[in-house]
Amino acid sequence: MNRARILAVAGKEWREILRDRLFFTMAFGVPLLIMLVLGYGLSLDVENIPFAVVDHDRSELSRDYIHRFSDSRYFHLLGYAENEGGLSRLLAASRIRLALVIPDRFQERLLADRPVEVQALVDGMFPYRAQTLKGYLDAIGAEWNRELLVAFLGRTRGVTPERAAELAAPVRLQTRYLFNQALKSDWSMASGLMMLVLMVSPPFLTALGVVREKESGSIYNIYASTVSRGEFILGKLIPYVGVSCFNILVLWWIATAVFHAPFKGDPFFYYLASVVYVICTAGIGLLVSILVRTQVAAVLLTMVITFIPAMLYSGLLVPVESMSAEARFQARLFPPYWYLQIAWGAFLKGLGWRSLWLPVALLAGYAALLWTLGLALFHKRPTR
């Protein structure tokens, strides 16, 4: 390894990054943009669900019942419909996601201590939303029934309201949300997006950086010179890893300052782990660049092998634990899964070396593997 030659390659690469407008944007602008757009837009919260009601009763109680929904932050009352037909049209047109049908004699029956049946029509198109929505429905309904029961007990058994409440709900569940007390998906998303951006951006830069030289033919300067393969790869990748190491800081700042995600862990640990991750993902780019010859192919291949695992198998959107056994195994084969453990661990749980050494070690292992493979497959005397 000759330091002067590594520096020569790295210095040239660095200048090109700074001067090529497109590349500069790719290096610094795009990661920022993705982080901001997705951070704002990619929210899994199920809130403000538009719903409509057919109220055949139009009584005080029925309105009260409806208010239980419209007053919560989860639902947004779009309006009333005349009949069930109107509701189904609204559902079909996706104007609403939930429809309630309150039968006539709603108030009358309740006051007469009789059960009533209310119909709730849920748009099941998006299963996740439907599941969550059903949860909300149940919770609001259960609370309503509990109150009815308390009042009923007070009336029929002659107990105090407090006692009645105790009798009606002998077991209460006290839930503590750990790590993300406010249940803000922003927090999880912002820290999780660092995983996504750092999975996609370094390989893109690396792959394009190398393939660009292949496409233009300037790679022959390297082939024809005495620079060794290792020196070239090192010199070539140092600037890209450097850019990404800088981006870690910017992304971290966005996550904490713009999206207000709490950072409870050890910054030094987290930075180091992120650098290992970046080295690892840059290695993916290196491999891509060796396999393909045109920039288009590099873009497409990088997209397929980074974006999809990062989106589907990391656990960011789709919970890994809920997957089938083989999918859970597959997820563990991709670096994003491990880095997400680190990111969420460091941001939300305040974890450090002691709990997260394994993911870091695995990422380091991946990095070593990818770079070794890259070195072995890169030839200065190719067959075509």
Partner 1 sequence: MRDWLRRLRVMTTKELLQLSRDPVLLIILAWFFTADIYIAGSGISMEVKRASMTVVDLDQSEASRELISRFRAPRFQVKELLFAEKEAAARLDRGERMLLLEIPPHFERDLEAGRSTEVQLQADTTHTVLGILATGYAARIVGGYATDRALEKLGIDDLQLAAMPRVEARRRVWYNPNQKDPWFMSISELMTVITMLSFMLPAAAAVREKERGTIEQLAVSPLSPFQILFPKVIAMTLAILAGTAVALFGILLPVFEIPVKGSLPLFFSVTALYALAVSGLGLVIATLSRNLGQVSMLVIVVLMPMLLLSGAWTPPEAMPWLLRELMVISPLYWFIELGYGILLKGAGVALLWKKAAALGLLGAGLFGLGAKLFRRQFR
Partner 2 sequence: MALLEVRNFGKRYRKRRAVAGVSFSLERGELFGLIGPDGAGKSSLMKAVAGVLAYEEGLVTAFGVPLDSEGNAERVKGRMGFMPQGLGLNLYPDLSVEENVDFFARLREVPVEVLRERKGRLLAMTRLEPFRDRAMKKLSGGMKQKLGLVCTLIHQPELVILDEPTTGVDPLSRRDFWAILAELLEEQGCSALVSTAYLDEASRFHRLAFLHQGQLLDEGTPEALLARAPGTVVQFRASSPATAAARLKRRFAGVESYGDRVRLFLADTAPQEARRQVAQALGGLEVSELETLEPELEDAFIRLLPAAQERPSPILPGAPGPAARAARTLIEARELVRDFGSFRAVDGVSFQVREGEIFGLLGANGAGKTTVIKMLTGLLPPTAGEGRVAGADMGASSLAIRQRIGYMSQAFSLYRDMTVRENIRLYGGIYGLHGRELAARMAWVLEMAGLEGAEGERAGRLPMGMRQRLALGCALVHRPPVLFLDEPTSGVDPLGRRRFWELLTWLSRGESVTILITTHYMSEAEHCDRVALMHAGRLVADDTPDRLRQALEKEAGRLLELRVDRPMAALRVLRPHFTGVSLHGSRLHLFAKRPKEAPSLIRSLLGRAGIALQGVRQRSPGMEDVFLYRMGALEER
Could you give the CA distance from residue 133 to residue 314 in angstroms, rounded to a whole number?
25
The reply to whether 5 sits near partner 2 by the rule CB under 8 A is yes
Binds partner 1 (CB under 8 A): choice among 59, 201, 281, 341: 341
The reply to whether 382 sits near partner 1 by the rule CB under 8 A is no
Nearer to partner 2, 67 or 379 (CB): 379
> Tokens at residue 368, please?
């070593």
Helix (H), strand (E) at residue 70:
helix 60-70
Distance between alpha carbon 42 and the CA centroid of its chain, in Å? 7
Interhelix angle 229-253/3-19, rounded to 10 degrees, is 50
Task: Report in angstroms how near the CB of residue 163 gets to partner 1 at its nearest.
Answer: 9
Q: Which does 126 bind (CB under 5 to 8 A by kind): partner 1, partner 2, none?
A: partner 1
Interface characters, 177-216, with partner 2 (x: CB under 8 A): ---------------------------------------x
Please give the span between the terminal C-alpha atoms of the chain, in angstroms, as a whole number.
Answer: 27
Per the CB < 8 A criterion, the answer to whether 4 and 154 are in contact is: no
Which position has the token pair 């670096």? 335
Q: Which does 327 bind (CB under 5 to 8 A by kind): partner 1, partner 2, none?
A: partner 1
Q: With CB under 8 A, what is the number of residues at the site for partner 1?
A: 114
Binds partner 1 (CB under 8 A): choice among 63, 349, 365, 373: 349
Nearer to partner 1, 354 or 381 (CB): 354
The reply to whether 20 sits near partner 1 by the rule CB under 8 A is no
The reply to whether 37 sits near partner 2 by the rule CB under 8 A is no
Neighbours of 274 (CB within 10 A): 26
Q: Which does 5 bind (CB under 5 to 8 A by kind): partner 1, partner 2, none?
A: partner 2
Per the CB < 8 A criterion, the answer to whether 5 and 235 are in contact is: yes
Q: Specify which residues 79 forms β-bridges with.
A: 52
Sheet arrangement for strand 75-80: 75-80, 49-55, 98-102
Q: Specify which residues 32 forms β-bridges with.
A: none
Task: Report in angstroms how near the CB of residue 379 gets to partner 2 at its nearest.
Answer: 6
Q: Specify which residues 99 forms β-bridges with.
A: 52, 121
Q: Which of residues 53-72 bind partner 1 (CB under 8 A)?
A: 65
The reply to whether 296 sits near partner 2 by the rule CB under 8 A is no
The reply to whether 25 sits near partner 2 by the rule CB under 8 A is no
Task: Report in angstroms how near the CB of residue 183 gets to partner 2 at its nearest.
Answer: 48
Stretch that binds partner 1, among 77-85, 217-225, 278-286, 311-319 (CB under 8 A): 311-319
Which position has the token pair 């995983």? 195
Nearer to partner 1, 53 or 227 (CB): 53
> Tokens at residue 235, please?
């010199």
Nearer to partner 1, 235 or 315 (CB): 315
Binds partner 2 (CB under 8 A): choice among 111, 139, 224, 368: 224
Per the CB < 8 A criterion, the answer to whether 347 and 255 are in contact is: yes
* φ/ψ of residue 80, rounded to 5: -105, 145
Distance between alpha carbon 133 and the CA centroid of its chain, in Å? 20
Could you give the CA distance from residue 150 to residue 159 in angstroms, rounded to a whole number?
9
The reply to whether 345 sits near partner 1 by the rule CB under 8 A is yes
Task: Report in angstroms how near the CB of residue 268 gets to partner 2 at its nearest.
Answer: 35
Per the CB < 8 A criterion, the answer to whether 108 and 62 are in contact is: no
The residues of the shown chain that bind partner 2, judged by CB under 8 A, are 2, 4-5, 7-9, 11-12, 15-16, 19-20, 216-218, 220-228, 379-384
